Amino acid sequence: MQYQSQAVAKPYFIAAIGLFVGQILFGVILGLQYVIGDFLFPEIPFNVARMVHTNLLIVWLLFGFMGASYYMVPEEAETELHSPRLALALFWIFLVAGALTVLGYLLVPYATLAEITGNDLLPTMGREFLEQPTITKIGIVVVALGFLFNISMTILKGRKTVISMVLLLGLWGLALFFLFSFYNPTNLILDKYYWWWVVHLWVEGVWELIMGAILAFVLIKMTGVDREVIEKWLYVIIAMTLITGILGTGHHYYWIGTPEYWQWWGSIFSALEPIPFFMMVIFAFNMVNRRRREHPNKAAMLWALGTPVMAFLGAGVWGFMHTLAPVNYFTHGTQITAAHGHMAFYGAYVMVVLAMISYAMPILRGRAAANSEKSQVMEMWSFWLMTVAMVFITLFLTGAGVLQVWLQRISESAMPFMVVQDQIAIFYWMREVAGVVFLAGLVLYIMSFFVGGEEKTAQA
Amino acid sequence: MNSSVQHANGRYPPGDFAIWIFIYAELLAFGIFFLSYAFARANNVELFNESQLLLNRTAGAINTLLLITGSYFVVRAVAAIRDDKAQLCSRWLMAAIMMACAFLAIKLVEFYTKYQEGISLSTNTFYMFYLSMTFFHFMHVILGAVILAAVMLKARNGAYSREEHTGVETGGSYWHMVDLVWIILFPLVYIIR
Amino acid sequence: MSEKFTKSMARNIFYGGTVFFFLLFLALTFDTAGVLPDRDHRENITEQVALGKKVWEDNNCIGCHTLLGEGAYFAPELGNVYTRFGNSKEAIIGFIQSRPKEGIPGRRSMPQFNLSDEELDAIAEFLKWTSEVDAAGWPPNIQG
């Protein structure tokens, strides 16, 4: 560890992984509820389990981004973090606020939660992914601003690299667009229009900048390839991201009451959104091919290469499959969406955070560069279990979705939603099996942290 | 992925490799628009023919001449810097920028007229395409002019020479792309029936 | 030296491209805002419809259902449920009211929210209004 203050990343990473486990436990619950409809009803209805699952995902990824930033920025800026104490304080605030929110979801009926948290003063609850009480959202903004202040001050007083500037831009963008979650007009169509300014401009916008910066950092550290080359291509990749992604927002504006020209604008630009992901794959493999050193952390290398591949498949390919308006007309709001969503999130964001943790954690725990052979092997097994399981989850949901679209929307004798759900149950059962395998992979991943042993002597 | 230094005596493509990724991306975006237009037209021939009649072809023709002349001026500018004549280069670029401004002015009048006639993106599919594509192109002309202006200022300040003028070639390539797009767009939308 | 120059060019394209497309996005947003009133019939957003949206949010209906295709995929699309239930507010109200507290054994179950009469009427009004939004012919059929 080059700078003492990088150590604050550790609690963030640990919290991230802990919340990840929570997310997957609830994922397995949801998968079972799909086929045993009243599982845990009425104590934990589907919608409650779902909001726990999705909110935990977002929060653990945020912990991951913050941890990554606290690790990367001192090293990039070549100076200690502005305030490690602030970082630790914000850690506890965020963790406690998050835990209380999740407990709120689980322990009281949602309408009651809305009432007791004063939602009526400024109603922001009850929208997908934005289920948090308004006071929690305010808390998130406060934590984000504190975090941004800390990171920005560090960069300001130190060396300004492209990687840290791109990361910073992505993080400020994340905070800025989150503010739209406070805008909840009475007009449902306007509500939906601006909701996507949070969701799309996050995951198909500024989050890609964060992902690119993290990936670039890990690749520079592990391959030793010239920074100039990596940074130039980072700019090219993020340029393509925003050039395609900003107008690509239009692919959410086909069927929600907005003008029909969005079907053209959205289709054309969102069709191009896979390009930056494709470039990331080429970029990552090219860098590793041209590496000037053999980094001992093979596990991290696996995550670093797997990330762009799965991101390209999940976000790029699966996204493309249902992005054109004529196709989307039939697939909108079906299991096709769920299939894409799972692989995209896993490939782009889950994996890049795990890549960062894989790279940084050994160093944070006192290793020179990597864990023992045994630990790495176990971690790599967990990579394959989770990744292959996710591929199967996606394939099964795609199958479910295709059949759903056919039976419910295309067939001459279209069947009602619930009838169709029964028809596609077999896919849901298979998905659940894959989900359990994913959980097993995650357990193995956790176990790898506790496997000791001697680090292989570091090679130059 | 090493970017190689492009020499004045013509290693192709001129300008930096990275810019060509963007030029191709631009051409791809416009290309998809053109194809979409063709597809939409095939499904709405009468509507498209009818609506097309209301377009101002004279303005379009003048605009075509303005852009082509601008491209000629850009070619002269590149020739000038290859001859180590930075000030002459910057003057040719200024002339090209003037052409761009004239284009923008005429186009603005065209847009305003349509707006006065109550035509918008939602009027019908033809106008959606007409307005979308020409506005998208309009913004690229602005961008092209901005790029030429930046290059012009740098040339005036002595940043380029016979040996090193990648920037001029890169900016020039971008301008030519903008011109090329119009040369396809104009007949496609204004003329072909 | 050319290397460094190229990185700045990539940087300029990034910033320039982002500003360019964001401006374009704002322009289209502005146009959309102008067109929306013709499509969303906002003059029909009465106090009841507004209350209905609040009830929808306070009970997190989107956590199981989709509305205009957005939401969760556990339960049916409700953007066109008013039409699907025969243009009947009573049918909607009746359905919500009749959900058993303990659920339906073995089946996907909807909670009993114990809504007041006013809230029930409001949510039905809200769903009626939603069904009248011009969603470009979506969904493809009555099943949603």
Domain at C112, CATH number: 1.10.760.10
What are the beta bridge partners of residue C66? Answer: C71, C77
| pLDDT given at position B5 | 42
Which of the four pLDDT bands, split at 50, 70 and 90, describes residue B9? Answer: very low
- The phi and psi torsions of C77 (rounded to 5 degrees) equal -65, 135
At C70, give phi and psi (nearest 5°): -110, 135
Short-list B71, B63, B70, CA closest to B106: B63
Q: Which of A66, A50, A58, A59 is nearest to A13 (CA)?
A: A66
Q: Which residues contact C84 (CB under 8 A, 6 or more apart)?
A: C142, C143, C144
Tell if the CB–CB gap between B25 and A264 is shorter than 8 Å: no
Identify the closest residue of chain B to A272 by CA–CA distance.
B29
In a domain, B21, yes or no: no
Q: Which residues of chain C have a CB within 8 Å of the CB of B5?
A: 2
What is chain B's mean pLDDT, rounded? 90
Compute the distance between CA of residue A355 and CA of residue A300 in angstroms, rounded to an integer: 5
pTM over 0.90: yes
Q: Least CB-CB distance to A261: which of B22, B32, B128?
A: B128
A42 preceded by cis ω (within 30°)? Answer: yes
Q: Using CB atoms within 10 A of its CB, is residue C88 exposed (0-12), middle (13-18) or buried (19+)?
A: middle
**Which CATH number do you get for residue A363?**
1.20.210.10
Whether A371 and A227 map to the same domain: the answer is yes
The pLDDT value recorded for residue B3 is: 41
pLDDT at B2: 40
How many residue pairs bridge chain A and chain B with CB atoms within 8 Å of each other?
37
- Residues C54-112: pLDDT tens digits? 999 999 999 999 999 999 999 999 999 999 999 999 999 999 999 999 999 999 999 99
Helix intervals (H) in chain C: 2-40, 47-58, 81-84, 89-97, 117-131
- Give the closest-approach CA distance of C9 to chain A in angstroms: 9
B-interface mutation test, from A230, A261, A282, most B Cβ less than 10 A away: A261
Q: Provide the shortest C-alpha distance from residue B91 to chain A (in Å).
A: 31
What residues make up the domain containing A33? 1-160
Residue B10 has pLDDT above 80, yes or no: no
Please give the single-letter amino acid code of residue B88. L
> What's A394-458 look like in SS3?
HHHHHHHHHHHHHHHHHCCCCCCHHHHHHHCHHHHHHHHHHHHHHHHHHHHHHHHCCCCCCCCCC
Q: Do B143 and C5 touch (CB under 8 A)?
A: no
Please give the helix or strand (H or E) that residue B154 lies within, else none: helix B125-156
Say if CB A255 and CB C136 are below 8 A apart: yes
State pLDDT tens for residues A347-376. 999 999 999 999 999 999 999 999 999 999
Look at A42 and C141 and tell me if their CB atoms are within 8 Å: no
Chain A residues touching C103 at Cβ < 8 A = 37-38, 41-42
Task: Please indicate, yes or no, whether residues A218 and A361 belong to a single structural domain of this protein.
Answer: yes
Q: Give the one of A239, A243, A264 whose C-beta lies nearest to B36's C-beta.
A: A264
Q: Are residues C48 and C119 in the same domain?
A: yes
Q: For residue A455, what pLDDT band results from cuts at 50, 70 and 90?
A: confident
Domain containing B99 equals 27-191
- Interchain proximity B18–C24, CB inside 8 Å: no
The CATH number that applies at residue B163 is 1.20.120.80
Residues of B in contact with A269 (CB under 8 A): 29
Residue A459 pLDDT grade (very low, low, confident, very high; cuts 50, 70, 90): low
DSSP A274-315: HHHHHHHHHHHHHHHHT-SS--S-HHHHHHHHHHHHHHIIII
User: Is residue B75 one of the residues assigned to a domain?
Assistant: yes
Q: What is the DSSP letter of B51?
A: H
Query: 10 Å Cβ neighbour count for B20?
Result: 15
Taking the C-alpha atoms of residue A49 and residue A186, their distance in angstroms, rounded to an integer, is: 27
Q: Please report whether residue A383 resides in a domain.
A: yes
For CA atoms A280, A284, A285, A287, the dihedral sign is positive
Residues of chain B contacting C24 with CB distance shorter than 8 Å = 136, 139
Inform me whether the C-beta atom of residue C64 falls under 8 Å from chain A C-beta atoms.
yes
Q: Is the dihedral of CA A186, A189, A194, A200 positive or negative?
A: positive
C45 and C35 within one domain: no
- pLDDT exceeds cutoff 90 at C24: yes
Clarify whether residues A226 and A149 are in a common domain. no
Please give the Cα distance from A144 to B83 (Å, whole number).
55
The reply to whether C65 and C15 lie within a common domain is no
- Cα separation, C81 vs C75, in Å, equals 12
Residue ranges making up the domain that contains C56? 41-144
Using the Cβ of A239 and the Cβ atoms of chain C, whether some distance falls under 8 Å is answered with yes
pLDDT tens by residue, A182-223: 999 999 999 999 999 999 999 999 999 999 999 999 999 999
- Which candidate, A68, A87, A73, A84, places its Cα nearest to that of A2? A73
Record: contact A261-B21, CB cut-off 8 A: no
C13: contact with A, CB 8 A cutoff? yes
Residues on chain A touching B1 (C-beta within 8 angstroms): 229, 233, 286
pLDDT of residue C3: 40
Q: What is the pLDDT of residue A99?
A: 97
Dihedral angle of Cα A38, A39, A42, A45, to the nearest 10 degrees: -90
Query: pLDDT tens across A293-333, in order?
Result: 999 999 999 999 999 999 999 999 999 999 999 999 999 99
- Please say whether the beta carbons of A143 and A65 come within 8 A: no
Residue C61: burial class (beta carbons within 10 Å; 0-12, 13-18, 19+): buried
The total number of structural domains that make up chain B: 1
Vertex A50: Cα angle to C90 and C107 (nearest 5)? 55
Q: Is the pLDDT of residue A287 over 50?
A: yes
- Residue A116 CB neighbour total at 10 angstroms: 11
The answer to whether residues C45 and C35 belong to one domain is no
Taking alpha carbons only, the member of A233, A237, A229, A119 closest to residue A182 is A119
Other beta carbons within 10 angstroms of residue B38's beta carbon come to 12
Both C73 and C122 in a single domain? yes
- What distance in Å separates residue A172's CA from the closest CA in chain B? 26
CA distance A248 to A227: 30
For chain C, how many structural domains are there in total? 2
Do C51 and C117 share a structural domain?
yes
Half-sphere exposure of C77 (CA within 13 A, CB side): 27
pLDDT digits (tens, 9 = 90+) for A400-430: 999 999 999 999 999 999 999 999 999 999 9
Mutate to test the interface with B, among A226, A242, A268 (most CBs of B within 10 A): A268
Looking at the structure of chain A, the number of domains it has is 2
Non-local CB neighbours of B85 within 8 Å, separated by 6+ positions:
none
Cα(B157)–Cα(A159) distance, integer angstroms = 29
pLDDT at A162: 97
Q: Is residue A80 part of a domain?
A: yes
Please report the ipTM that was assigned to this predicted complex: 0.97
Residues A249 and A107 in one domain: no
Q: Is the pLDDT of residue B4 over 70?
A: no
Contact between chains at C9 and B120 (C-beta distance less than 8 A): no
| DSSP SS3 for C53 | helix
pLDDT of residue A432: 98
Q: How far apart are the first and last CA of chain A?
A: 17
Q: Is residue B6 part of a domain?
A: no
Q: Is residue B45 part of a domain?
A: yes
Query: C45 and C17, same structural domain?
Result: no
